[in-house]
Structure 1
Amino acid sequence: MDGRSAWVAEDRLDALRLDLTITPFATLPKRVSREIDAEADLVRAARGGSEVRVLIETA
Structure 2
Amino acid sequence: MANSQKAGKHSIKGCGQSYPDEAHDEIIDDELRVPVDPLKSEARGTDNQLQYNEYIVYD
Query: Same-fold call, TM > 0.5?
Result: no
TM-score (norm 1): 0.25
TM-score (norm 2): 0.25
**Greater relative contact order structure (CA < 8 Å, 6+ sep):** 1
Greater share of helix residues, 1 or 2? 1
Structure 1 or 2, whichever has the larger Rg, is: 2
Greater share of strand residues, 1 or 2? 2
